Chain A
Amino acid sequence: DTAVSQTPKYLVTQMGNDKSIKCEQNLGHDTMYWYKQDSKKFLKIMFSYNNKELIINETVPNRFSPKSPDKAHLNLHINSLELGDSAVYFCASSQVSGGADEQFFGPGTRLTVL
């Protein structure tokens, strides 16, 4: 069973379109994250949710809106896509136990904006 899954795996779209990426984890974790990996492979946090509540909202354009319908799902909606949004987006989840946690990553969604 896949622990953290994302759909779609690949997404090719035109500038100006709106698109969504879905993430689901079956690990029972309380915390979920979205990271962006740019063309130079640099990974940076975008958002973090704990029990459906937004915890981290880094300096991300407000065209990006995360939504967590329940603690097993964290979706990412992007409005008015721009060329610079092309990247790989990774979802992750973790569970704090004993003051420590480990983040499990999904397979990534490669977004290409034309």
Chain B
Amino acid sequence: AQTVTQSQPEMSVQEAETVTLSCTYDTSENNYYLFWYKQPPSRQMILVIRQEAYKQQNATENRFSVNFQKAAKSFSLKISDSQLGDTAMYFCAFMSGGSNYKLTFGKGTLLTVNP
């Protein structure tokens, strides 16, 4: 079974600065997908960024980028130019390429952006 570990329960950052959230995972598969989701107080899960394991290039979406280290099974999220609206819970998630319907989530990191 796959597991996803987020070792930082809480983090804080000053507005406009950069912060990195950590995620490690465990799997024996070679084909899989990784995601970062954001959950604001509204409770709705919002997809931030995704990475296909077969792609060596790290995914980027505007201020959000990942550092995907397949051999180390590490998938960190970097948020640049942090904004107050980035305050939320962030979840790292894994999906198997063989049965791609189920997301396995980590426990989350609460990110607070301070003015």
Partners in one complex: no
- Chain B residues packing against A (C-beta within 8 Å): none
- Chain A residues packing against B (C-beta within 8 Å): none
